[in-house]
Amino acid sequence: MYVRPSAAAAAAFLGFTLTALGGSATATATDPGSPAGRPGVLGPVVYAHRGASAYAPENTLAAVDAALRLGFDWVENDVQRTRDGELVVIHDDTLARTTNAEEVFPDRAPWRVRDFTAAEIARLDAGSWFDPAYAGARVPTLREYLDRVERNRQRLLLEIKKPELYPGVEAQTLKVLEEAGWLDRGHVQRRLVVQSFSAETVRIVHDLRPDLVTAFLGTPKVADLPKYAEFTDRINPWHTTITAEWVAAVHGLAGAHGKTMEVDTWIVDDAVTARKVRGMGVDGIITNAPDVVRQAVIGGFAG
């Protein structure tokens, strides 16, 4: 778990970091031309989980921009669907934790995303729970989110969340990506990965768009890894569930695109754990505090 700073402290930190970085907007450790994002000599790729969510409310456009200001081009998000069929970016399948839905709609418990229209969700404050400085931040639609990531020239690790609640969400997600211009050669090869905890969803995405890089969230047994390699390129596990031997077993297989399979682990927010998983040979680290992890896994090499 990370300790959320105040908005003032976060703003001051972001300003300091930008000065130190010279305002760089590209701080991945890999060759940016590598379609699979394999790590270079500097260490694993760092992904800003739900945006830079240690410093701005998760899955909002503010969190995307915070990642950019910190110098990170890879952001991760979560996709769910409203009652009227709009895809929105929010982690939980209910609105209660990260919006003021309980206040605005007191009689609509348990405030499930799928029970509200996109217009109703657009009324909600998705920032004040994090810090009053973010009052008025909204739950973005997927299209709004894609447009912001595109404007920022960032890259996206997109998670299809709870697909069992939203039949057909895989094809719908791809449709929105297509309409937003995210399924052309440049985006598909260098700027987009689609992941899910559902192996079936990952398989569906692969079948619909075999050119897309996909990832399965979880830690399959070594004996089962070849099955996953048939339809995915990455296995993305919780960091407490892996060993160096397991990572090596994943790397020993070629994924759906014939390239060495990757391991991007989550959620790592402290330097000690970041260095530990780097030592295991992971290819990427998904984190709420990307600056902390970058310093640990990249700055550590300089030391």
Q: Distance of CA 206 to CAs 65, 107, 181, 291, Å?
A: 30, 41, 18, 32
Asked about 91 being catalytic, the answer comes back as yes
Closest to 14 measured CA to CA, from 61, 49, 54, 44: 54
Q: Which residue has the tokens 């990572």?
A: 247
Q: What is the DSSP letter of 59?
A: T
Other beta carbons within 10 Å of 36: 18
Residue spans of alpha helices (H) in 4-155: 7-21, 61-70, 101-104, 118-122, 142-151
Asked about 251 being catalytic, the answer comes back as no
Q: Distance of CA 301 to CAs 23, 42, 148, 279, 295, Å?
A: 22, 7, 33, 12, 9
In a 10 Å sphere around its CB, with 0-12 CB exposed, 13-18 middle and 19+ buried, how is residue 222 labelled? middle
**Cα dihedral 10, 13, 18, 24 sign:** negative
**Distance, CA of 76 to CA of 289 (rounded, Å):** 12
Closest to 273 measured CA to CA, from 259, 257, 286: 286
Active site residues: 49, 91
